[in-house]
């Protein structure tokens, strides 16, 4: 028997239809990213810096500890980096608007690639703990850099891992898109939060703490399988405290986020044999919101029913995720 | 350069980023459905009726002309059919609710398969014209049957063609899901329509008629590449008249719909080498709405950016669709 579930606080629904016949082992597939051993000709590998546009930020862990971040110049590309950020060569949006032009009509915005390791075969679930902590700082820095650009209203930070999750290159990387508008999905959440007596996400933290949908917890964060999960093995990571944006995360929080994110990716990777996945940062600067990071393994196809109704059919019961991963 | 476009009347956006490097020929791939010649062991093939639950409706064209529709009994399965409807063996929702139970909690609803031909290798773009007309009548009949069931508020009618579009079986079929709620995507449209001075879809018909986004037109329908297309080669088919639901389509309209739908599928099939696609019926019974049928080839991956923002990046300019297909 299936169940139609309502989202915690939005008027959205999902269908949990576990009898559609899937067991966790059915989701194991070929690893999301194949051919990891070979980096020949990879644009994102260490040593191939000249294959990309000049880096806007180059992170070397030792120098970052001293407060130093580098950047390429037009003529010089830096090597020896741990993480490297540069404009997407095929950007969805671009800052090159005609003077005084319509920001939407000219596709104004920024589209950046964040390469998380110079090594071709690296995946985040195997990234060294210190590097994972560095990555959270890179995320904060780069998001804040683009949030400060003129007319940027929202910065989307996300990762596509594996071809099925939309990654066109196999070398592990994240992406950031700065937009001149607030997406309507965020506006709908903001409207509900504004009109609620208590923060709906704080309520989720309270409700799910210690329950069967809690997957992990540390000093600052909780990871849950949301009640109305859109995809099999969806995971939300929420700060225990009501904080809107990564801007306000201190060192201790960034380290906690690195730790719980890596744990979740590693547990998914082990249980499902390195599945393709997306993760997305949901956050708002200067607005009352509650930061959340959503991990969605790309295991099911978004088909006609979902495109017709916006209702997702999910074959894994959220209460069972914790027993499987 | 890309362009951020707003939906005709909702606060939704898409990004048209044609320079992301794709030409129409890049979308050609292996045919959506392979191995069409072999129907061995296919549950949906003529002759294999016992592999499915008993048919709720069996259509034979000659008998349908006389107003007769058959159904299987528990013990007898009918052969010699042209189209055949039966409950999905792995339903997303089911009518077996506990007496007086919560309709959502028990996953109340109906989930039906509509097999469009007894022949394994058939695709809709090659279906005989008379059969295509029959299919529109089957759609109307089955949608109306489920709309009349107790507590059914919305009937989703859609087709998944090809694995990438979510079809788990290769034999061509449509699906119908009757739900005890109106999906919020429909509610948002209804709200806007209710508060508009003129029907936004009627406005679309006016605006797009004769323009560069018009793809086809006949006595009752227009096919367009919508201004804010979510996917490459998205197509909307709209009645010229303000009609909310297929219930109100007369014979002439059903024939026109069959003709324009087949033409669009055939043109997509030729231009893109039988791409995987979904099509979805957007309609509302007993509410003020404007019927529309959306075809979305499943050529792009819905990745982290789309999941974060609800904004789709589309690499094909809608104005160019007509020159390509």
What is the nearest CA distance from B191 to chain A, expressed in angstroms?
Answer: 14
What is the rounded end-to-end Cα distance, in angstroms, of chain A? 23
Would you call A262 helix, strand, or coil by DSSP?
Answer: helix
Check B104 against A4: CB less than 8 A apart.
yes
pLDDT of residue A36: 53
Which of B105, B308, B313, B319 is the best substitution to test chain A (most A C-beta atoms within 10 A)? Answer: B308
Check A92 against B313: CB less than 8 A apart.
yes
Select from B163, B164, B278 the Cβ nearest to the Cβ of A304: B278
Q: Does A4 contact chain B (CB < 8 Å)?
A: yes
Q: Does A202 contact chain B (CB < 8 Å)?
A: no
Query: Which chain A residue's Cα is nearest to B158?
Result: A304
Where in the sequence is the domain holding B220, given as residue range(s)?
A: 3-33+40-324
- Number of other CB atoms surrounding residue B219 within 10 Å: 11
Question: What is the per-residue pLDDT across B209-227, written as a single tens digit (0 to 9) for each?
Answer: 999 999 999 999 999 999 9
**Phi, psi of B162, deg, nearest 5:** 95, 150
pLDDT of residue B36: 53
Q: Does A192 contact chain B (CB < 8 Å)?
A: no
CATH number of the domain bearing residue A97: 3.30.428.10
- Residues in chain B with CB shorter than 8 Å from the CB of A185 are 309-310
List per-block mean pLDDT (blocks of 10 residues) for chain A, which spans 325 residues: 95 87 66 65 94 97 96 95 96 87 93 97 96 98 97 98 95 98 97 96 98 98 98 98 98 98 97 96 97 97 97 96 95
Residue B114 bridge partners (DSSP): B85, B174
Instruction: Determine the average pLDDT of the residues in B21-37.
Output: 65
Q: What is the mean pLDDT of chain B?
A: 94
Check A181 against B13: CB less than 8 A apart.
yes
- Residues in chain A with CB shorter than 8 Å from the CB of B93 are 2, 4, 15, 17
Instruction: Please determine, for residue B20, whether its predicted confidence score (pLDDT) is greater than 60.
Output: no
What is the nearest CA distance from B286 to chain A, expressed in angstroms?
Answer: 18
Indicate the pairing of strand A83-87 with strand A214-217. Answer: unpaired
Q: Is B210 left (phi over 0), alpha (psi -120 to 50) or beta?
A: left
pLDDT of residue B34: 63
pLDDT of residue B188: 96
Q: Which residues of chain A from 150 to 179 reach within 8 Å of chain B, CB to CB?
A: 154, 156-160, 163-167, 175, 177, 179
Q: How far apart are CA A66 and CA B273, in angstroms?
A: 56
Check B301 against A1: CB less than 8 A apart.
no
Cα–Cα–Cα angle for A96, A101, A104, rounded to 5 degrees: 80
Q: How far apart are CA A293 and CA A144, in angstroms?
A: 17
Q: How confident is the model at residue B27 (pLDDT cuts 50, 70, 90)?
A: confident
- Residues in chain A with CB shorter than 8 Å from the CB of B105 are 3-4
Select from A11, A92, A158 the Cβ nearest to the Cβ of B184: A11
Question: What is the per-residue pLDDT across B298-310, written as a single tens digit (0 to 9) for each?
Answer: 999 999 999 999 9
What is the nearest CA distance from B140 to chain A, expressed in angstroms?
Answer: 17
Q: Does A302 contact chain B (CB < 8 Å)?
A: yes
Query: Which chain B residue's Cα is nearest to A183?
Result: B309
ipTM confidence = 0.96
Instruction: Please determine, for residue B284, whether its predicted confidence score (pLDDT) is greater than 60.
Output: yes
Q: How far apart are CA B316 and CA B17, in angstroms?
A: 7
pLDDT of residue A28: 75
Rg from Cα positions in chain A: 20
The number of C-beta contacts closer than 8 angstroms across A and B is 193
Q: Show the tokens assigned to A161.
A: 């891992």
What is the nearest CA distance from A191 to chain B, expressed in angstroms?
Answer: 14
In chain B, how many domains are there?
Answer: 1
Burial class, B214, CB count within 10 angstroms (exposed 0-12 / middle 13-18 / buried 19+): middle
Check A308 against B158: CB less than 8 A apart.
yes
Select from B12, B184, B302 the Cβ nearest to the Cβ of A184: B12
Q: Does B13 contact chain A (CB < 8 Å)?
A: yes
- Residues in chain A with CB shorter than 8 Å from the CB of B184 are 10-13, 310
Tokens 């589209």 sit on residue = A111
- Residues in chain B with CB shorter than 8 Å from the CB of A164 are 301
Q: What share of chain A is helix, strand, coil (3-state, %, to 5)?
A: 30, 20, 50
pLDDT of residue B32: 73
Q: Which residues of chain A from 62 to 91 reach within 8 Å of chain B, CB to CB?
A: 90-91
| Strand ranges across the sheet with B235-239 | B57-59, B83-87, B110-115, B173-179, B154-161, B277-282, B292-297, B235-239, B221-224, B214-217
Q: How confident is the model at residue B29 (pLDDT cuts 50, 70, 90)?
A: low
Q: How far apart are CA A83 and CA A61, in angstroms?
A: 8
Q: How far apart are CA A207 and CA B227, in angstroms?
A: 43
Q: Show the tokens assigned to A250.
A: 């201190």
Q: Does A137 contact chain B (CB < 8 Å)?
A: no
Q: Does A311 contact chain B (CB < 8 Å)?
A: yes
Instruction: Determine the average pLDDT of the residues in B109-118.
Output: 98
Check B304 against A165: CB less than 8 A apart.
yes
């Amino acid at each position: 028997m299936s169940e139609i579930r309502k989202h915690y606080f939005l008027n959205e629904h999902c269908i949990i239809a576990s009898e559609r016949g899937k067991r966790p082992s059915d989701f194991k597939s070929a690893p999301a990213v194949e051919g990891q051993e070979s980096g020949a000709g990879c644009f994102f590998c260490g040593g191939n810096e000249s294959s990309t546009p000049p880096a806007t930020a180059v992170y070397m862990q030792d120098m970052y500890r001293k407060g130093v971040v580098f950047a390429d110049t037009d003529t010089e590309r830096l090597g020896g980096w741990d993480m490297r950020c540069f404009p997407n060569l095929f950007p969805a949006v671009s800052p090159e608007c005609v003077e005084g032009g319509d920001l939407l009509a000219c596709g104004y915005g920024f589209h950046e690639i964040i390469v998380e390791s110079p090594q071709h075969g690296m995946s985040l679930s195997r990234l060294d703990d210190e590097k994972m902590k560095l990555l959270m700082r890179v995320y904060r820095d780069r998001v804040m850099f683009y949030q400060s650009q003129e007319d940027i209203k929202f910065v989307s930070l996300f990762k596509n891992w594996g071809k099925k999750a939309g990654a066109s290159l196999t070398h592990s990387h994240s992406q950031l898109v700065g937009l001149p508008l607030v997406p309507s999905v965020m506006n709908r959440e903001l409207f509900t939060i504004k009109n609620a007596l208590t923060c709906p996400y704080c309520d989720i933290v309270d409700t799910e703490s210690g329950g069967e949908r809690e997957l992990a917890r540390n000093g600052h964060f909780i990871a849950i399988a949301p009640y109305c999960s859109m995809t099999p093995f969806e995971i939300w990571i929420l700060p225990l405290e009501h904080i809107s944006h990564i801007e306000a995360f201190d060192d201790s929080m960034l380290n906690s986020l690195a730790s719980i994110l890596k744990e979740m990716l590693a547990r998914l990777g082990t249980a499902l044999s390195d599945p393709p996945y997306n993760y997305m940062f949901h956050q708002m600067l200067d607005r009352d919101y509650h930061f959340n990071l959503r991990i969605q393994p790309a295991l099911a196809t978004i088909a006609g029913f979902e495109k017709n109704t916006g209702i997702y059919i999910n074959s894994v019961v959220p209460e069972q995720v914790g027993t499987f991963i």
